[in-house]
Structure 1
Amino acid sequence: MIAVVGGTVSGLAAAASLAQRGYDVRVFEAGDELGGVAGTAATNGDPIEAVPCSLSRPRDERACALLADLGLATHLEWHPTRTGRYVDGTVHPTDAPWEFVALPDLSFGDAARLAALRSGVDVSGFPRTLPNPGAYDEHDAFVDVSAERFLRAHASSRVYDRFFEPLLAARFGSRASEVSAAWVLDHLRAERETTRFGREVRGYLAGSAARLVDALVETIGPEGIHTNARVSAVDVDGAVESIAVDRTGESGTESYAVDAVVIATGPAQLEGLTGYRCSLPMRTRTCVRVSTTTPLTDVYRVTMGADAPFDELVAHTAFVAVDRYDGHHQYYLLDGGRSAARDQSPATIERRWLEALGTCFPAFDRTDLRAVETTRFRQPVYEAGYRTALVPVDLADEVADGVYYAGVASAPHYPERRLGGAIDAGLACADRLDGSSESPDQTDGASLTASA
């Protein structure tokens, strides 16, 4: 039997792929719901994810292929998104080079350097040296350099302080200055589909990620899914031999003989079960989902800066049609992992953040609030030198034969492709376990076909 620890998207993808290859596989999920951060909540219309969830092509080609194999291709929709910054009561779009000039806290020269950086042209030595259009093609050359040091040198201190520092703080909180320059370049210069105006095209599964979770569960089969079943120990002696499972509300521990185990949870659980310690820093982010009939902005992702206790506003219904939710606009408010939010109760966070939302967006009416829900989730901090800290898919050399890792700290997740990265990580484990991959971190392999 193959045991999968965690009913996350990566765990379900691994289990479904292995089941289709003829393996006896079982998923053990400690909670009562499947999907991890792709878990959904009910609305007046379609379900909606607890945190923002989308795909980015062409980086997520394998995830898209999986959806097609599961019969979900017709439900995958691609929409252009807009990004922006909130400054002095106004949301300023930041997708196209000419929009940088309109930012109130950047000079024309700063805007030009930012536009050059976004285009992959190094103008840091101009006019003493000519612009270099290929300077940033190899992102790995900047893995060990901090984003702050790189951006101050290759753009300007003002560009870092006024543009990038708020954006990095929105994602990484107080550890923003430690983030690797390679992470920034990957987000700026990664292959992606954009419109002629620079707006990134992202994919969304109509009907929510619940469609994906349901299809994977169907492929695995209900007998292979165990919820409220926490794996408390993995017994290894040169090779994995068994697991111990504690079931909620029941006394005693069950033991299962296993041939291999795929751990599809966070690095803390990986360490607790195997002793393998991941050195990639993690931070806890807080997300408050707000439902209201009031439109606030048509920009999908807004970096808030210092004007609010939350760092980002994601307008889901600027991306997905509002009529999918019976006319209710759906917004996510996220922080970058600041301790103030982490240490506060959900009730306190919701009160303070909703007050700030009304201050920043006067159109918001508290009496029009239809739903509010708070979720906390863990994400890595891709600090300088992070590549050596990513967890291999195959942990035979580090732990024991038959131990695989598909959690958020694994290499296929980079760079925070939450849904696509999770699918890649799960399928990479299945490939490696099945012997169809030559490298522990290889993500290519056999495709998954849905059960009839």
Structure 2
Amino acid sequence: MDICIIGGGLTGLAAALPLTETAGVTIFESRPLLGGCLASYKRDDYWIEHYYHHCFAGDERLFSLLRDLGLSDRLEWLSGSTGYYVDGTIHPLTSPIEILRYPHLSLADKVRLGLLTLRAKRLDLAALDAVPASEYIRKNLGESVYASFFEPLLRSKFGDRRDEVSAAWLISRIAIRSDRGVEGERLGYMRGGWHELVDGMAEEAQKKGAVIETGTPVTSIRRTGDAWEVNGRRFDTVLATIPPQEIGRLSGMEGFAEIPYQGAACMTIGLDRDVTNGIYWLNMKDTAPYGAVVTHTNFAPRERYGGEEVVYLASYFGDRPAPNLKEMMLSDFCRRFSVPKTAVHWSELAVERFAGPVYTTGFADLIPAYEEHGLYLAGMFSRPNYPERSMEGSIAAGQEVAARIRGAVQ
């Protein structure tokens, strides 16, 4: 049996590993590198992800996969500090004292916000799927908390669609990020970079006989009798990890869900200085061409990166990124944080049109089954990634769809 997997990201690789035990597997990846949004740049003496990534304490499928690949010893737990950039000032918001000192929320607002954080893991997310996040926050925490704290975050991430985003997504995000201590959020990272996971999965799949073709975009999918042709090549089964509507476009078939997606443009910068006062994740309340400044080397040790500070500027877009976005982001960053251009050692901009679903109200009803129209579908749009996408969810989707395929052919 020959299986084609469209997409060499986490879901595609996670599915390939068990499928190679009983079938021939070919992976088509459109880009030169595997990993999807988990792909990495190779600098002179270190690797750094195109988009910032970390894992969480409950990511059991990820931990099991790392054990199987012999990579468990590379996983480490680090503290991620947070802050808010408001009116040109950096406000740290990691410790209880820092939160109490934050001037843009009243004490009552802070109490309500703290109580929501404590309750988030116990709330019924299914009941919140149809409730807009903006409506939920206004009703339960008040207008001032929404306007001063949540609205800028929603605006920077979802732009004009911020009022469509469901409370299920927001509460899930709060819950998953509530593993906090006085030094910050407890987050997992791979010593040496997540490319080790991607490379480990690819090497194991190839060891078991998988064929991986990078730089090979899929341009056509066609049903031929009891088989499929992908780019004119015959396969018994096709697993697509790209958005369902793209499968409909490539195949000419109707009936695939139109999953709302957004794009991401993430600039990575190598600097000679720290500009966020030791803070890992700095959200931007002030209007800027990016919504957060994520200083990776305030999370992972700087000495691993040739003594450079490594900073991400995170930006999201709808149909397409703004023209000259790289110049806009870098110019704004240097001006806002008083960084001379000579302090910037290098910069790269990664752009992904389908970076992730927009979890609008009613999203639960859009989630496709693992098998539709004779094809298998899995990815960031699958149920394990609802209502918040993660590496854990993408691995789970790949493993679950692989079990479905194996069950169908046995």
Partner of 1:145: 131
Deviates more, 1:270-279 or 1:102-111: 270-279
1:239-262 CA-to-partner distances (Å, cap 9, x unmatched) read 8612232xxxxxxxx321x22211
Match of 2:172 among 178, 186, 202: 186
**Which position in structure 2 is the counterpart of 1:312?**
292
Which of residues 368, 374, 377 in structure 2 aligns to 1:405?
377
Q: Is the 8 A contact 2:266 2:313 kept in 1?
A: yes
How big is the shift at 1:272? 2.0
Distance across 2 between alignment mates of 1:278 and 1:106:
41
**Letter of the aligned partner of 2:260 in structure 1?**
P
Please give the per-residue CA displacement for 1:248-284, whole angstroms capped at 9, x wherever unaligned: xxxxxx321x222111223342222353432331111
Contact kept, 8 Å, 1:80 with 1:319, in 2: the verdict is yes
Q: Mark the CA change 1:240 to 1:317 in structure 2 (over 3 Å): closer, same or farther.
A: farther
What is the match of residue 250 of structure 2? 273
Distance in 1, matches of 2:294 and 2:387, equals 19
Relative to structure 1, the CA distance from residue 244 to residue 194 in structure 2 (aligned partners, 3 Å threshold; closer, same or farther) is: closer
d(CA) in 2 for partners of 1:22, 1:223: 11
What are the residue-to-residue correspondences of 1:43-54 with 2, within 5 Å? Answer: 43-54=43-54
Change over 3 Å in CA distance of 1:32–1:432 after alignment to 2: same
Hey, what's the Cα distance between the residues in 1 that align with 2:214 and 2:334? 40
Q: Give the superposition deviation at 1:97.
A: 5.2
The 2-side partners of 1:320 and 1:280 are apart by 35
Judge conservation of contact 1:232–1:243 (CA < 8 Å) in 2: no
TM-score (norm 1): 0.83
Structure 2 distance, partners of 1:331, 1:53, is 13
Deviation at 1:45, TM superposition (A): 2.6
CA distance in 2, matches of 1:46, 1:234: 38
Residue of structure 2 in register with 1:10 after alignment: 11
Find the partner of 2:140 among 154, 158, 161: 154
Query: Which secondary structure state, in structure 2, belongs to the residue aligned with residue 435 of structure 1?
Result: helix
Out of 237, 247, 250, the residue aligned to residue 260 of structure 1 is 237
Amino acid at match of 1:352: M
Query: What is the DSSP-based 3-state SS (H/G/I as helix, E as strand, rest coil) of the residue aligned with 1:113?
Result: helix
Task: Specify the alignment match of 1:365 in structure 2.
Answer: 340
Quote the residue 1:129 is aligned against: none
Q: Is the Cα contact below 8 Å between 1:53 and 1:418 reproduced in 2? A: no
Which blocks of at least 5 consecutive residues in structure 1 are unaligned? 122-133, 246-253, 437-452
1:284-337 per-residue CA deviation (whole Å, 9 max, x = no partner) reads: 121111111211122221111234221111111111111111011111101232
Q: TM-score, normalised by structure 2?
A: 0.91
The one-letter amino acid paired with 1:374 is: L
Whether the aligned pair in 1 keeps the contact of 2:105 and 2:148 (CA below 8 Å) is: yes
Alpha-carbon separation, structure 2, partners of 1:423 and 1:282:
20
Question: Match for residue 350 of structure 2?
Answer: 375
What one-letter code is carried by the residue in structure 2 that aligns with 1:108? L
Q: Report how far residue 419 of structure 1 moved.
A: 2.4
Aligned-partner SS, 1:231? coil
Determine helix, strand or coil for the equivalent of 1:57.
Answer: coil
CA distance in structure 2 between the aligned counterparts of 1:11 and 1:231, rounded to whole angstroms: 14
Q: Of 189, 212, 215, which aligns to 1:228?
A: 215
Match of 1:431 in 2: 403
1:450 is matched with which residue? none
Contact 1:173 1:335 in 2 (8 A): no
Distance 1:415 1:372 in 2: 32
Q: Distance in 1 between matches of 2:178 and 2:147?
A: 28
Tell me how far apart the structure 1 counterparts of residues 107 and 205 of structure 2 sit (CA, whole Å): 56
**Aligned with 1:229: secondary structure?**
coil
2:25 is aligned to 25
Shift of 1:170: 2.2
- C-alpha distance in 1 between matches for 2:386 and 2:188: 18
Distance 1:173 1:336, change over 3 A: farther
| Partner of residue 352, structure 1 | 328
Look up the equivalent residue of 1:318 and give its one-letter code.
Answer: N
Kept in 2, the 8 Å contact 1:39–1:49? The answer is: yes
CA 343–76 in structure 1, closer or farther in 2 if over 3 Å, else same: same
Match of 1:80? Answer: 79
1:130-160 Cα offsets, whole Å, 9 max, x none, are: xxxx9x5212211100011110000001101
Q: Where does residue 62 of structure 2 map in the other structure?
A: 63
CA contact (8 A) 1:307 1:360 kept: no
What pairs with 1:61-210 in structure 2 (closer than 5 Å)? 61-95=60-94, 98-120=97-119, 137-190=123-176, 194-197=179-182, 199-210=184-195
* Structure 1 residue aligned with 2:41: 41
Give the partner amino acid of 1:375.
A
Between the aligned residues of both structures, percent identity stands at 31
Gaps of 5+ in 2: none
Match of 1:289 in 2: 268
Match for 1:36: what amino acid?
G
Aligned 8 A contact 1:170 1:303 in 2: no
Aligned residues: 400
Q: Which amino acid aligns with 1:337?
A: F
Q: CA deviation at 1:381?
A: 0.8
> How far apart, CA to CA, are the structure 2 residues paired with 1:281 and 1:265?
13
Q: For structure 1, which segment, 69-78 or 206-215, has the greater mean C-alpha deviation from structure 2 after superposition?
A: 206-215
Q: Residues 50-105 of structure 1: CA distance to partner in whole angstroms, max 9, x if unpaired?
A: 111221121x2101110111011111111121122111222223345554432222
